[in-house]
Amino acid sequence: MKVVSFFHLKEVRWAISETDLAAFRGEFPGVEIQSVEDAGDLPRALADAEAFVGWTFPRALFASAPRLRWVQSASAGIEANLFPEMVASDVVLTNGAGLHSVSIPEHTLGLMLALARNIHKAVRIQAEHRWDRFGVIAFAGGVRELAGSRLAILGAGAIGISLARLASALGMTVRVLRRRPDHPVEGAEEVVGPDRLHEVLGWADFVVLATPLTDETRNLIDARALAAMKSSAFLINVARGEVIDDDALVDALRRGAIAGAGLDAFREEPLPETSPYFALENAIVTPHVSGYTATYFQKVLDLFRDNLRRFVRGEPLRNVVDKRLGYVVG
């Protein structure tokens, strides 16, 4: 059995270390694990591969990998792997659901606290070498507290569920929007279905996008959705950039139709320097780092090792994606 490892995602490059490869080979003597670092070597490596681990399997090479049976994505978001040939095939797709259940909720809380306390405004004032206490206090409707405020979480995967628990512990009132509202979420006072989107947007002081990217969630936050939000509310996106209509959000931020936004994912990445998001005083931009932690790659390897054991033994794999829906059902 042969497994190919290839970790390239835009500007990010990584490879399994020789030490880790040796450990894998020691545990799985009947498995050849080939770590590919040059994309030009992929066609030959994948020609006889039965499994693949990395962020995205290259669509152009799918037809030339006839023995492929399993793809392990290191990412929770797997839309790039859901090309028609993959969806129609018998190849099992598993993802990294759960790997970010600590890092992304904590990053989200960091963005929420920064926006609530106007720290983004204070940093801009600091860059100008100015002391302006009232400029910080009065910005974007004033400084507020998370405790006692209302949080709407759109999406109830591992990230949304973890965030609901943490936010509730901070004294926030939480409502979660999910496809199956009959499934409760710890820490949420109510779980609602997609038909109540605008209702929950109008109720919230903070709206966090934690949904997978599907046909249903693409451009979910459009001009109508933003108009449903309170002018004092903040939008946080740790999902995918395509969930937001950028023109509508930029317009809403410029007009003060919402108080601000914390954005970690974008339709185009790297975000071009001409993007209006960089210049908006009421927006915080982080370069898609919410999922990163110093232990991230170790977590990826731990998940892959566990699933490889299961694959070799013919046991059910963790995080199997429903390729028609576009996410793990559980």
- Residue 269 annotated to the active site: yes
Active-site choice (268, 269, 281, 315): 269
Among 107, 175, 240, 242, which one carries the catalytic annotation?
Answer: 240
Return d(Cα 227, Cα 223) in angstroms, integer.
6
Q: Does residue 240 carry a catalytic annotation?
A: yes
Range 308-311 contact pairs with CB under 8 angstroms and sequence separation of 24 or more: 308/3, 308/24, 308/28, 308/31, 308/51, 311/51, 311/70
C-alpha separations of 191 from 153, 195, 219, 253 in Å:
10, 12, 22, 28
Cβ burial of 80 (10 Å; 0-12, 13-18, 19+) is middle
Report the phi/psi class of residue 135: left, alpha or beta, with left for phi > 0 and alpha for psi in -120 to 50: alpha
CA angle 264, 269, 271 (to 5 degrees): 75
- Token look-up 């007009």 returns 255
User: Is residue 120 among the annotated active site residues?
Assistant: no
CA 290 – CA 119 distance, rounded (Å): 18
The catalytic residues are: 240, 269, 288
